Amino acid sequence: MEQPNLSYIQSMSGGNEEFEQKLIGIIKKEFPLEKQEYRGNISAGNYKLAASNVHKLKHKISILGLERSYEVAVNYEDSLIEHKTDGQEDFEAILQIMTDFLKTL
């Protein structure tokens, strides 16, 4: 499975390491909350709200350079909108990879 990276963050920071750290800090703070909200909505069967959560999480997936995972998330979001959970396991795996990666930063 592909691994997260900081290429995008470094490319748009213009070498500003202070900003890079600030952005990583924001992601580390925001990501667990979004993940928690998503899981809550999935557990409650609120698939439309869960789709919105996935939509927001997609941005962080792309920020961390997970291009193929982004496509998985796009398809999963579409499934949730149709009240289906196809792709849930793959999406959970992506969340786990991101969680693990953020712990290393």
Helical axes 47-63 vs 17-43, angle rounded to 10°: 160
Among 8-16, 39-47, 80-88, 97-105, which window interacts with other proteins (CB under 8 A)?
8-16
46 binds other proteins per the rule CB under 8 A: no
Cβ pair 94, 69 in contact under 8 A: yes
**Shortest Å distance, C-beta 47 to other proteins:** 15
d(CA 46, CA 70): 22
DSSP letter for 13, please. H
Q: Are 91 and 76 in contact (CB under 8 A)?
A: yes
Least distance in angstroms from the C-beta of 72 to other proteins: 14
Length of the chain: 105
Total of residues contacting other proteins (CB under 8 A): 21
- Verify binding: residue 60, other proteins, rule CB under 8 A: yes
Contact between 48 and other proteins (CB under 8 A)? no
Which residues of this chain interact with other proteins, rule CB under 8 A?
Answer: 8, 11-14, 16, 19, 22-23, 26-27, 29-30, 52, 55-56, 58-60, 62-63
